[in-house]
Amino acid sequence: MAEIRGKDKNFKRYLENHFGIALPADVSIFYLKGVRVGNTAIGKGGIKGDLGYAACDEGFNPTNSFIQNFGHLATKNTITLDAAKAREFALGRGIGSVQLGEKSGFVIVKYEEFVVGLGYYDAEEKKIKNRIPEKRRRKIINGL
Amino acid sequence: MEEKAFRDWLSAYTDADKCISAFHSQKTFFRVNTIKISSGRFAAMTNLACKCSPYYDCAFELDEKPGFQIGRTWEYFLGLIYPQSLPSILASLALAPAGKDTVLDVAAAPGSKFSHMAMLMENKGVLVANDRGEDKISALYATINRMNVLNCVVTTLDGAKLPWNRRFTKILLDAPCSALGSGMAASARWEPANSMKISNLQKRMLFSAFDALKPGGELVYSTCTYAKEENEEVVANLLQNVKGASLVDVGLDIPHEAGLSDYGDDFRKCYRIYPQHLQSEGFFIAKIRKG
């Protein structure tokens, strides 16, 4: 497994700078047919196959799954929604009338202490666009 | 097979009336994903009507109204739970993989037992998930992503022709089967000849999986069916033809019937779990050690 090299592909650095996420020592980010995440043992097993799961898409944007699983470690660029808005977001809808600063970029959308998914804050439109893949979206029927 | 004929066939194995009655009153279970939340914290935070199983503290029985869609709850969406029958949960517990192990799940999709094993391994070690077919692999990845499985290697090999020799310390072969334990719908489209046919594939898969097991390693063979051709006969075929294979007790403290002793006394170490035992689907579990 090769660690990611190159400024624009340095996902680990991006995680630290943008979200303040420092991954646990036993979690590895590696480049193998894309940027993936797994534990530190799977590359040493010598088994030919797909290791871990995708941490980034082809454009080196974080995947919703990665954010849903590690977003709780973030210290910045997060937003916590109320129950009604969190349900809307889980359903795939965006969030309007949001003021998160002057710069556009990815945000981690939370409900209580849980990460609902990945959003993209559009500073011009003052909206959070939904980045949860269609297959993961759900109409939630209960509360926490 | 018509219900009366199936009832007659089933009565050779267990109390058919109790079994068929229990088919119709199966309960819904789910497993808490301790990769994401502890069982105790889950119990404290959830609003789902549910109670912890007396057999396993990460298994819960759902007590919502009929038709309740567990897949539309926050708990499911956030990857905190996996809907799974109780015997299916117990199959992974019988294998008891730990973080030090190198584990193979021969037929892993959609990933219920596989993600449970990742949880038992605390996301450590190496857990190989094998299966074939685009839809199956897609379902497997959905599970890996939602449950945050980090110790996985996904392969897409023919389960009857695995390339590994003495590679894994623990192996689960939850074989493709006639699924008679899953409910009456499966029995309606089943004939005994179907079991004879699938038995050949199961035997080849078990040989292949056993080759991949390290000496001293353990293999769990399970199905969700009752036909002896798919259960004891498959295991007996391995024991008769391969040196160093022996049955060990499944070792779980749960209601069950012993495996069929027609194949030898050792087969009493296998578990036959019928719907009347756990108010869940029927299952067969055998645990095999490589000497």
Q: Percent of chain B, pLDDT > 70?
A: 100
pLDDT in tens, B69-124: 999 999 999 999 999 999 999 999 999 999 999 999 999 999 999 999 999 999 99
Using a CB-CB cut-off of 8 Å, the residues of chain B touching A27 are 150
Q: Are residues B134 and B211 in the same domain?
A: yes
* pLDDT of A7 above 50: no
Residue B102 to residue A45, Cβ atoms within 8 A: yes
CB–CB contact A47 B77 (8 Å): no
pLDDT digits (tens, 9 = 90+) for B28-82: 999 999 999 999 999 999 999 999 999 999 999 999 998 999 999 999 999 999 9
Q: List C-alpha distances in Å: B218 to A7, B159, B244, B261, B287.
A: 46, 17, 12, 22, 7
In chain A, the number of structural domains is: 2
- A76-129 pLDDT, tens digit per residue, is 999 999 999 999 999 999 999 999 989 999 999 999 999 999 999 999 999 999
The DSSP element (H or E) to which A51 belongs, if any, is strand A50-51
Spacing of C-alpha B172 from chain mean position: 8
Q: Is the pLDDT of residue B16 over 80?
A: yes
> Are residues A57 and A101 part of one domain?
no
Give the domain range for residue B56. Answer: 27-84
The reported pLDDT for the residue numbered A8 is: 43
Share above pLDDT 90 across residues of chain B, in percent, rounded to a whole number: 95
Q: Kindly provide the ipTM of the predicted complex, given to two decimals.
A: 0.94
pLDDT of amino acid A144: 84
Q: What is the mean pLDDT of residues A52-72?
A: 94
pLDDT of residue A10: 83
* Model pTM above 0.90: yes
CA distances from A37 to A41, A73, B19 (A): 12, 15, 45
Inter-chain CB proximity B153 and A138 less than 8 Å: no
User: For B140, which residue in chain A has the nearest alpha carbon?
Assistant: A53
Q: Which residue of A has its CA nearest to B124?
A: A39
Q: What are φ and ψ of residue B222, in 5° steps?
A: -135, 155
Q: Kindly state whether residue A144 falls inside one of the protein's structural domains.
A: no
What is the extent of the structural domain holding A35? 7-71
- Does the CB of B93 have a partner CB in chain A at under 8 Å? no
CB nearest to B155's CB, from A42, A49, A69:
A49
pLDDT tens-digit map of B167-187: 999 999 999 999 999 888 888
Say if B145 is an interface residue toward chain A (CB within 8 Å).
yes
CATH number for the domain spanning A128: value is 2.30.130.10
Amino acid letter, residue A60: F
In the predicted model, is pLDDT for residue A32 greater than 90?
no
Quick one: B181 and B218 in the same domain?
A: yes
Average model confidence (pLDDT) across chain B: 96
CATH number for B18 = 3.40.50.150
Is residue B289's pLDDT more than 50?
yes
Nearest CA in chain B to A136: B77
Residues of chain A found within 8 Å of residue B73, distances taken between Cβ atoms: 140-142
Share above pLDDT 90 across residues of chain A, in percent, rounded to a whole number: 80
Tens of pLDDT along B264-280? 999 999 999 999 999 99
**Is A142 domain-assigned?**
no
Q: Which band of pLDDT confidence, cut at 50, 70 and 90, is reported for residue A9? A: low
Token pair 């269609």: residue: A134
